[in-house]
Every structure is written in structure tokens, then in C-alpha cells.
Amino acid sequence: MTGWETRNGVHYLRTPGGIVRARAVGVATGGYTSQSLHPQLKNRLFPILSNSIVTRVLTPAEIEACNFRTHQVITDTRILRHYYRLMPDGRLQIGSRSAITGNDAPQDQYRQKLVEDMYRKFPALRGIQVDYSWWGWVDVSHDMMPRITQPDPAQSIYYAMGYGGNGVMYSAQAGKRLAALIAGKGASLPPLPIFGSALPFPNVREMVESQMFAPFRRFGQRFLYHWYHLKDEVI
Ligand SMILES: Cc1cc2nc3c(=O)[nH]c(=O)nc-3n(C[C@H](O)[C@H](O)[C@H](O)COP(=O)(O)OP(=O)(O)OC[C@H]3O[C@@H](n4cnc5c(N)ncnc54)[C@H](O)[C@@H]3O)c2cc1C
């Protein structure tokens, strides 16, 4: 969708193939939400890059050496966390925070950093073949809480967003709830007070910074990542 106009309560959504008319719009564009998509969403999300790798199938000896006792998902307690699991077919999947900007994301250093982190956690896997790797944006809300809501009752706009990198399972439920809201069946849904409120703006200082100094937000994030790294590794 490349443009959005609303006239007399009808939404006109421009796409490369034509214009779609809609009485209501449900937005689920996650970390890919552009700042210009709609004023209701401007500055409501802070997209962050995440990357992930998957190794070849581990041998029974490697699984034993890594002390894997479960296929459950695991996360460490760092600020810049790693999240990982032994997959059903015996591969290790591990992910973490990645580059700061989309331009930097494809650089191999970020994949390599994750590989090194994996070796550090699981020395028995040093040199193991990595079969898959990918990266993408996750949509972090300013209070880290997701939302499934019609933020303004006067506008037929709904959204489900702000999953903060935990949306694979959650988004399926959120989608059902979003569909029920759009179909006018919201009254029959169990109440979720926080999830039903609008995505918050950043606090006043952040808001001023993000409105006036949007290009510098990533500098702030870069500084924070260095600080978090220090806290995780040194302090
Ligand atoms: C590397 C990585 C690892 C992850 N690991 C996990 C994990 O282990 N567990 C977990 O729960 N979550 C994980 N996540 C997060 C998870 O992928 C997201 O939370 C989830 O995909 C969000 O789903 P969504 O449908 O809301 O948005 P997305 O899957 O991000 O989809 C948004 C869609 O909107 C489209 N879009 C954007 N703008 C427009 C427009 N203007 N017009 C039309 N379409 C548009 C995009 O093309 C995209 O297809 C990971 C994410 C990444 C990047």
C-alpha cells in the first residue's frame, strides 16, 4: 500500500495495482510500518533489527556436549538477549539483536557476530556449518506492550502491533481478535485493558527528540547498544 486517503468515512488505499476502497482498515505491518503510513501510527513504534541462524543437524554427541535437555525455547538474561532452541530435527536455532540500520543489516559481520556468540555459549559447536540465516525488523512499542485495538472510536482504523519480537505465536491470536473487532464483535471479547489502549508515544523527551531529531534516534540506539554490551560483558 503506497497511499491512504479517507473521505466521508471511506478509506482509499493506493496500491501498485489500483485503489482499494474500504469501510475499515486493519493494520498489521509490524516493524515494517512506515512513518508516513498513517498519522495514528507515526512515532508509535521503534523498529529494531533482529537476526537468526540455524546450524546443521547436531550429532547426539554434540547435543550431549551442549547439555541440551529440552526443545523448549530458551533466552539468556542479558539486556541484549540471545534466544535459542534445539529444533525438533536436532538443529540449533539462535538469534539476537543485529545492526542498527537497515543499510548495515546485510553486512556479514552481524551474522558472524552471532556465530561467534554461539561458539562462546556452546564451545562444542565451534566451526559447525550454519545452514540458514536471516534478519528483519521487529516492532517494539514504547512501553514494550503489544496492542490490538481501534485507537480512535471516530475512525474505522484498527491495528494489531507492538509485539516486540515475540509475535510468531501471538500474532495468530491477535489477528483473530483484530478480525472480531473489525466485524463489530468487540463487545463479546474478553477484556484486555492494556492491549486495548492506543500505542503510546515515547515520553516527552523522546517525543521531542524523535519529532525534531528523528535522524539522530539511531545514534542514541547505537550508544545504548554499546552501554548494554558493557553492562552485559563488563559491569
Ligand atoms: C530474525 C528474527 C527472528 C525472530 N524470532 C522470533 C521468535 O523466535 N519468536 C517470535 O515470537 N517472534 C520472532 N520474531 C518476531 C516475529 O517475526 C514478529 O513479531 C512477527 O513476524 C510479527 O508479525 P506481523 O504479522 O505483525 O508482522 P510481519 O511479519 O513483520 O509482517 C508485516 C507485513 O506488513 C507488510 N507491510 C508493511 N508495510 C506495508 C504497506 N504499506 N503495504 C502493504 N504491506 C505492508 C510487510 O511487507 C510485511 O509482510 C523474529 C523476527 C526476526 C526478524
Give the pocket of ligand 1 (CB within 6 Å).
1, 28-32, 37, 50-52, 83, 95, 134-136, 138, 163, 165-169, 171
Among 93, 168, 176, 178, the mutation site with the greatest number of ligand 1 atoms within 8 A of its Cβ is: 168
What per-residue confidence (pLDDT) applies to 153?
Answer: 94
pLDDT, tens digit, 9 for 90 and up, residues 173-194: 999 999 999 999 998 999 988 8
Task: Report the distance separating Cα 151 and Cα 145, nearest Å.
Answer: 15
Class of domain 3-44+142-201 as given by CATH: alpha beta
Burial tier of 39 (Cβ tally within 10 Å: 0-12, 13-18, 19+): exposed
CA of 160 to the centre of ligand 1 (A): 12
Class of domain 47-139 as given by CATH: alpha beta
- Where are the CATH 3.30.9.10 domain residues in the chain? 47-139
Ligand 1 nearest atom to the CA of residue 168, by list position: 11
What per-residue confidence (pLDDT) applies to 182?
Answer: 97
Burial tier of 175 (Cβ tally within 10 Å: 0-12, 13-18, 19+): middle
CA of 60 to the centre of ligand 1 (A): 33
What per-residue confidence (pLDDT) applies to 228?
Answer: 81
- Where are the CATH 3.50.50.60 domain residues in the chain? 3-44+142-201
